[in-house]
Chain A
Amino acid sequence: DAGVTQSPTHLIKTRGQQVTLRCSPKSGHDTVSWYQQALGQGPQFIFQYYEEEERQRGNFPDRFSGHQFPNYSSELNVNALLLGDSALYLCASSLSGKQYFGPGTRLTVT
């Protein structure tokens, strides 16, 4: 049974650029959440997608946007990258409230 997968594993971007991160949920899971984890901190909730709609959003600017596809996979887009966007981006899929994380995408903005 495949777990949550994310791509790419690592990414280096320049300030001002745009980035797209991808996530495929665990088999049978229909909900995808995205989190940002800075070094030494706990993950911070960005937003959650369910039935192809953004169901809840955390305290992140509009530069952060997402999408969920009919097969439940999801994308996270970040525009106008800032140095402070450098972090580990985690996707979590869930069923019945328990969230399971993928391996993450390490984004470095230079």
Chain B
Amino acid sequence: QKEVEQNSGPLSVPEGAIASLNCTYSDRGSQSFFWYRQYSGKSPELIMFIYSNGDKEDGRFTAQLNKASQYVSLLIRDSQPSDSATYLCAVLRTSNDYKLSFGAGTTVTVRA
């Protein structure tokens, strides 16, 4: 079983719609969760992080965490063509584990 799993996509959404990305993780003790955006040929950029169950909103982005279901999601509202990228889910397991474990990423394409 992979540590972090994401739907590979591609996910195609029309401009202005909501893009919903999902991520599951295997280690129930995981504590910190991150979403990175990676444009083609570029490095990952941190866009959201969440530590507690529930929702966290930042502009058009909302991260949702459900530790009981070992599930974290990212919603992108009012999707724009500039949101077209690969979104990577990353998990930090415990306070003594410094390794970010990444999913393979979900590629999002926003259609104008």
Contacts and interface: CB of A to CB of B under 8 A. Distances in A.
A98 B98 contact: no
The A contact surface, by secondary structure, is strand
Interface string B27-56: 000001010100000111110010000000
Nearest to B4: A42
Contact of B43 (A40, A42, A102): A102
The B contact surface, by secondary structure, is strand
A40 B103 CA distance: 11
B98 A33 contact: yes
A48 B43 contact: no
Contacts of A40: 104
A72 interface: no
A66 interface: no
Interface residues of B, number: 22
Interface string A49-81: 010000110100000000000000000000000
Most buried by A among B44, B45, B105: B44
A44 B103 CA distance: 10
Interface residues of A, number: 25
A92 B45 CA distance: 10
B99 A101 contact: no
B25 interface: no
A87 B104 CA distance: 15
Contacts of B88: 42-43
B65 interface: no
B104 A98 contact: no
A100 B102 contact: no
Contact of A45 (B49, B100, B104, B105): B100
Contacts of A33: 98-100
